[in-house]
Amino acid sequence: MASILRFRKLCYVEPLKFQSFEPQSFEKKEDSVTTTAKNELEIIKKKITKKQGKEWRCIDSCCWIIGYMCTTWWLLLFLFHNLPATLTGFRVPESPGLRLKREGLAALHPVVLVPGIVTGGLELWEGKPCAEDLFRKRLWGGSFTEVFKRPLCLLEHLSLHNETGLDPPGIRVRAVPGLVAADYFAPGYFVWAVLIENLAKIGYEGKNMYMAAYDWRLSFQNTEIRDQTLSRLKSQIELLYVTNGNKKVVVVPHSMGVVYFLHFLKWVETPPPMGGGGGPGWCDKHIKAIMNIGPAFLGVPKAVSNLFSAEAKDVASIRSMDPGILDSEFFRLQTLEHVMRVCRTWDSIASLLPKGGETIWGNLDWSPEEGHISDLPKQRYLQSSIGDQNTNESDVKRVLHVIEQANYGRIISFGKTASQLPSSQLPSVDSKELLRTTTDKDTEPSCGEIWTEYDEMSRDSIRKVAANKAYTARTALDLLRFVAPKTMQRFEAHFSHGVADNLDDPKYAHPKYWSNPLETKLPNAPEMEIYCLYGVGIPTERSYVYKLSPTDRCKSIPFRIDSSADGGKDSCLQGGVYMVDGDASVPVVSAGFMCAKGWRGRTRFNPAGSATYVREYRHKPPARLLEGRGLESGAHVDIMGNFALIEDVMRVAAGASGAEIGDRVYSDIFKMSERINLRL
Amino acid sequence: MPFLRRRRPPDPSRQHDASASSAAGGGSSLLSDDNKKERPRRKQNEPRTPRKKWSCVDTCCWFIGFICSMWWFLLFLYNAMPASIPQYVTEAITGPLPDPPGVKLAKEGLEVKHPVVFVPGIVTCGLELWEGKQCAEGLFRKRLWGGTFGEVYKRPLCWVEHMSLDNETGLDPPGIRVRPVSGLVAADYFAAGYFVWAVLIANLARIGYEEKTMYMAAYDWRLSFQNTEVRDQSLSRIKSNIELMVATTGGKKVVVIPHSMGVLYFLHFMKWVEAPAPMGGGGGPGWCAKHIKAVMNIGGPFLGVPKAVAGLFSVEARDIAVARGFAPGVLDKDVFGLQTLLHLMRMTRTWDSTMSMIPKGGDTIWGGLDWSPEGGYICVSKRPKNNRTQAAGQTGMGHSDITRGVNYGRLISFGKDLAELHSSNFERIEFRDAVKGNTPANHCDIWTEYQEIGIGGIKAVADYKVYTAGSVLDLLHFVAPKLMARGDAHFSYGIADNLDDAKYEHYKYWSNPLETRLPDAPDMEIYSMYGVGIPTERAYVYKQTTYPVCSIPFQIDTSAKGGIDGSCLQDGVFSVNGDETVPVLSAGFMCAKGWRGKTRFNPSGIRTYIREYDHAPPANLLEGRGTQSGAHVDIMGNFALIEDIIRVAAGATGEDLGGDRVHSDIFKWSERIDLQL
**Contact list, A44 vs chain B (CB under 8 Å):** 39, 42-43
pLDDT band at B293 (very low <50, low <70, confident <90, very high): very high
Instruction: Return d(Cα B226, Cα B234) in angstroms, integer.
Output: 9
Instruction: Return d(Cα B245, Cα A517) in angstroms, integer.
Output: 31
Instruction: Return d(Cα B321, Cα B555) in angstroms, integer.
Output: 8
pLDDT, tens digit, 9 for 90 and up, residues A647-674: 999 999 999 888 888 888 988 888 888 8
Give how far A252 is from chain B: nearest CA, Å: 20
A52 to chain B, any CB pair closer than 8 A? The answer is: yes
List B residues 316-345 in contact with A (Cβ-Cβ < 8 A). Answer: none
The pLDDT of residue A89 is 53
> Three-state SS for B626?
coil
Find how far residue B79's CA is from the centre of its chain. Answer: 32
B237 to chain A, any CB pair closer than 8 A? The answer is: yes
Which of B49, B58, B248 is nearest residue A64 as measured by Cβ atoms? Answer: B58
The pLDDT of residue A37 is 54
Strands B214-216 and B116-119: parallel
A207 to chain B, any CB pair closer than 8 A? The answer is: yes
Residue type at B485? A
- With CA atoms as reference, the chain A residue closest to B176 would be A203
B659 inside domain: no
Give how far A359 is from chain B: nearest CA, Å: 41
B85 inside domain: no
Which of B46, B62, B84 is nearest residue A63 as measured by Cβ atoms? Answer: B62
The pLDDT of residue B26 is 42
pLDDT band at B83 (very low <50, low <70, confident <90, very high): low
DSSP codes of every residue in B136-152: GTT-BT-EEESTT-HHH
Q: Residues B121, B262: contact at Cβ < 8 Å? A: yes
Which of A58, A149, A206 is nearest residue B3 as measured by Cβ atoms? Answer: A58
B295-304, B400-409, B641-650: lowest mean pLDDT where?
B400-409
- With CA atoms as reference, the chain A residue closest to B137 would be A85
Judged by CB atoms closer than 8 Å, whether chains meet at A206 and B26 is answered as no
Instruction: Return d(Cα A429, Cα A442) in angstroms, integer.
Output: 22
Task: Tell me, yes or no, if B632 is annotated catalytic.
Answer: yes
**Contact list, A29 vs chain B (CB under 8 Å):** 31
The pLDDT of residue B564 is 57
Q: Is the pLDDT of residue A546 over 60?
A: yes
Judged by CB atoms closer than 8 Å, whether chains meet at B233 and A207 is answered as yes
Give how far A149 is from chain B: nearest CA, Å: 9
User: Exposed, middle or buried by CB within 10 Å (0-12, 13-18, 19+), for B662?
Assistant: middle
B22 inside domain: no
B175 to chain A, any CB pair closer than 8 A? The answer is: no
Give how far B31 is from chain A: nearest CA, Å: 7
pLDDT band at B659 (very low <50, low <70, confident <90, very high): confident
Q: A560 — alpha (psi -120 to 50), left (phi > 0) or beta?
A: beta
Interface test with B, best of A12, A14, A20 (most B CBs within 10 A): A20
Which of A24, A66, A235 is nearest residue B244 as measured by Cβ atoms? Answer: A235
Judged by CB atoms closer than 8 Å, whether chains meet at B68 and A196 is answered as no
Residue type at A210? Y
Q: Where are the alpha helices (DSSP H) in A502-614?
A: 588-593
Instruction: Return d(Cα A249, Cα A230) in angstroms, integer.
Output: 16
Find how far residue A113's CA is from the centre of its chain. Answer: 18
**Contact list, B244 vs chain A (CB under 8 Å):** 228, 231-232, 235
B199 inside domain: no
**Contact list, B201 vs chain A (CB under 8 Å):** 136
Q: Helix B234-248 to helix A229-243 angle, to the nearest 10 degrees?
A: 150
Residue type at B642? I
Instruction: Return d(Cα B326, Cα B386) in angstroms, integer.
Output: 32
A18 to chain B, any CB pair closer than 8 A? The answer is: yes
Which positions of A are annotated as active-site residues? 255, 583, 636
List B residues 88-147 in contact with A (Cβ-Cβ < 8 A). Answer: 130-131, 140-141
Instruction: Return d(Cα B471, Cα A457) in angstroms, integer.
Output: 88
Catalytic residue, from B579, B614, B634, B644: name it: B579
A320 to chain B, any CB pair closer than 8 A? The answer is: no
**Contact list, A28 vs chain B (CB under 8 Å):** 17, 28, 31-32
Which of B130, B201, B210 is nearest residue A205 as measured by Cβ atoms? Answer: B130
Q: Is the pLDDT of residue B229 over 80?
A: yes
Residue type at A676? I
B200 to chain A, any CB pair closer than 8 A? The answer is: no
| Longest CA span, chain B | 120
**Contact list, B13 vs chain A (CB under 8 Å):** 20, 24
Instruction: Return d(Cα B291, Cα B240) in angstroms, integer.
Output: 11
> How far is the CA of A149 from the CAs of A131, A650, B71, in angstroms?
11, 41, 19
Domain that holds residue B133: 127-180
Q: What is the mean pLDDT of residues A217-227?
A: 90
How many Cβ atoms sit within 10 Å of the Cβ of residue A549?
18
Instruction: Return d(Cα B433, Cα B472) in angstroms, integer.
Output: 15
The pLDDT of residue B379 is 64
Give A90-98 contacts, CB < 8 A, sequence gap 24+: A90/A624, A90/A626, A90/A627, A93/A631, A93/A643, A95/A197, A95/A198, A95/A201, A95/A643, A96/A198, A96/A643, A96/A646, A96/A647, A96/A650, A97/A197, A97/A198, A97/A199, A97/A200, A97/A201, A97/A202, A97/A646, A97/A650, A98/A201
Q: What is the mean pLDDT of residues A126-130?
A: 85
Q: Residues B28, B17: contact at Cβ < 8 Å? A: yes
Judged by CB atoms closer than 8 Å, whether chains meet at A27 and B46 is answered as no
B404 to chain A, any CB pair closer than 8 A? The answer is: no
pLDDT, tens digit, 9 for 90 and up, residues A520-532: 999 999 999 999 9
B141 inside domain: yes
B146 inside domain: yes
Interface test with B, best of A26, A28, A232 (most B CBs within 10 A): A28
> Three-state SS for A551?
coil
The pLDDT of residue B329 is 53
Judged by CB atoms closer than 8 Å, whether chains meet at B34 and A37 is answered as yes
Find how far residue B541's CA is from the centre of its chain. Answer: 23
pLDDT, tens digit, 9 for 90 and up, residues A391-410: 444 444 444 444 456 778 88
The pLDDT of residue B633 is 87
Give how far A262 is from chain B: nearest CA, Å: 22
Instruction: Return d(Cα B520, Cα B526) in angstroms, integer.
Output: 13
Interface test with A, best of B15, B32, B42, B61 (most A CBs within 10 A): B61
Give how far A326 is from chain B: nearest CA, Å: 26
* Percentage of the residues of chain A whose pLDDT score is greater than 90: 18
Judged by CB atoms closer than 8 Å, whether chains meet at A207 and B177 is answered as no
Which of B61, B177, B244 is nearest residue A71 as measured by Cβ atoms? Answer: B61
Judged by CB atoms closer than 8 Å, whether chains meet at B31 and A28 is answered as yes
B438-447, B557-566, B579-588: lowest mean pLDDT where?
B438-447
Strand partners, B574: B539, B569
> Number of structural domains, chain B?
1
Instruction: Return d(Cα B392, Cα A530) in angstroms, integer.
Output: 70
Instruction: Return d(Cα A430, Cα A464) in angstroms, integer.
Output: 11
B449 to chain A, any CB pair closer than 8 A? The answer is: no
Q: Where are the alpha helices (DSSP H) in B36-100?
A: 38-53, 56-80, 85-94
Give how far A458 is from chain B: nearest CA, Å: 42
Residue type at A47? K
Instruction: Return d(Cα A495, Cα A498) in angstroms, integer.
Output: 10
Strand partners, B576: B536
The pLDDT of residue A373 is 61
- With CA atoms as reference, the chain B residue closest to A35 would be B34
Q: Is the pLDDT of residue B278 over 90?
A: no
> Three-state SS for B386?
coil
Give how far B212 is from chain A: nearest CA, Å: 6
B287 inside domain: no
The pLDDT of residue A601 is 87
pLDDT, tens digit, 9 for 90 and up, residues A583-600: 888 999 899 999 999 999
Give how far B233 is from chain A: nearest CA, Å: 7
Chain-wide mean pLDDT for chain A? Answer: 77
B471 CB-near residues (< 8 Å, 6+ apart): B464
Q: Residues B429, B460: contact at Cβ < 8 Å? A: yes
Judged by CB atoms closer than 8 Å, whether chains meet at A51 and B28 is answered as no
Task: Tell me, yes or no, if B114 is annotated catalytic.
Answer: no
pLDDT band at B609 (very low <50, low <70, confident <90, very high): very high
Where b means 16+ CB within 10 Å and e means fewer, A137-162 reads ebbbbbeeebeeeeeebbebbbbbee
Judged by CB atoms closer than 8 Å, whether chains meet at B240 and A239 is answered as yes
B166 inside domain: yes
Judged by CB atoms closer than 8 Å, whether chains meet at A56 and B2 is answered as yes
Q: Residues A195, A252: contact at Cβ < 8 Å? A: yes
Q: B418 — alpha (psi -120 to 50), left (phi > 0) or beta?
A: alpha
Chain-wide mean pLDDT for chain B? Answer: 78
Q: Residues A235, A277: contact at Cβ < 8 Å? A: no
The pLDDT of residue A10 is 43
**Contact list, A243 vs chain B (CB under 8 Å):** 233, 236-237
A604-613, B73-82, B215-224, B251-260: lowest mean pLDDT where?
B73-82
Instruction: Return d(Cα A133, Cα A116) in angstroms, integer.
Output: 28
Q: Residues A518, A598: contact at Cβ < 8 Å? A: yes
